[in-house]
Amino acid sequence: MSQTIAIRRPDDWHLHLRDGDMLKAVLPDTVRDFARAIIMPNLVPPVVTGADATAYRDRILDALPRGAVFEPLMTLYLTEATDPEDVARAAGSGLIKAVKLYPAGATTNSDSGVKDISRVTPVLERMAEIGLPLCMHGEVTSAEVDIFDREAVFIDTVLEPLRERVPGLRIIMEHVTTSDGIDYVKSAADNLAATLTTHHLMINRNHIFKGGIRPHYYCLPIAKRQTHQMALRAAATSGDSRFFLGTDSAPHPDGAKESACGCAGVYNSPNAMSCLAHVFEEEGALQHLEAFASLNGPAYYKLPVNEEKITLKKMPEPLSIPASLQTPDGTVTVFDPECALHWAVVRHEPVEYE
Ligand code: NCD
Ligand code: ZN
Kindly list the distances between the CA atom of residue 277 and the CA atoms of 127, 143, 232, 299, in Å, as whole numbers in the listed order. Answer: 35, 37, 15, 21
Q: Give the tens place of pLDDT for each residue, 15-28.
A: 999 999 999 999 99
For a pocket test of ligand 1, which of 110, 217, 220, 252 has the largest count of ligand atoms closer than 8 A to its C-beta? 220
Which of the four pLDDT bands, split at 50, 70 and 90, describes residue 108?
Answer: confident
- In this predicted structure, what is the pLDDT of residue 107? 84
Q: Among 253, 195, 244, which residue's Cα sits nearest to residue 221?
A: 195
248 is a catalytic site residue: yes
- In this predicted structure, what is the pLDDT of residue 106? 84
Q: ω before 122 within 30° of 0 (cis)?
A: no
Protein residues within 5 Å, CB atom, of ion ligand 2: 248
Which of the four pLDDT bands, split at 50, 70 and 90, describes residue 188?
Answer: very high
Q: Ligand 1: distance of its center to the CA of 248 in Å?
A: 7
- Tell me what the pLDDT averaged over the chain comes to: 96
| Ligand at shortest distance from the CA of 177 | 1
Q: Give the tens place of pLDDT for each residue, 81-95.
A: 999 999 999 999 999
Q: Judge if the beta carbon of residue 137 lies within 6 A of ligand 1.
A: yes
State the average pLDDT over residues 61-79: 97
State the average pLDDT over residues 287-299: 98
Q: Give the tens place of pLDDT for each residue, 318-353.
A: 999 999 999 999 999 999 999 999 999 997 765 444
Task: Return the CATH architecture of domain 4-346.
Answer: Alpha-Beta Barrel (3.20)
State the average pLDDT over residues 133-137: 98
State the average pLDDT over residues 113-134: 96
Q: Which residue puts its alpha carbon closest to atom 4 of ligand 1? A: 108
- In this predicted structure, what is the pLDDT of residue 354? 37
Q: Ligand 2: distance of its center to the CA of 311 in Å?
A: 27
Which of the four pLDDT bands, split at 50, 70 and 90, describes residue 2?
Answer: low
Domain positions in the chain are: 4-346
Q: Which residue puts its alpha carbon closest to atom 3 of ligand 1? A: 265
List, in sequence order, the alpha helices (H) in 188-271. 198-202, 205-208, 226-236, 254-257
pTM beyond 0.95, yes or no: yes
- In this predicted structure, what is the pLDDT of residue 351? 46
Asked if pLDDT for residue 272 goes beyond 80, the answer is yes
Rounded to an integer, what distance in angstroms lies between the CA atom of residue 184 and that of residue 159? Answer: 10
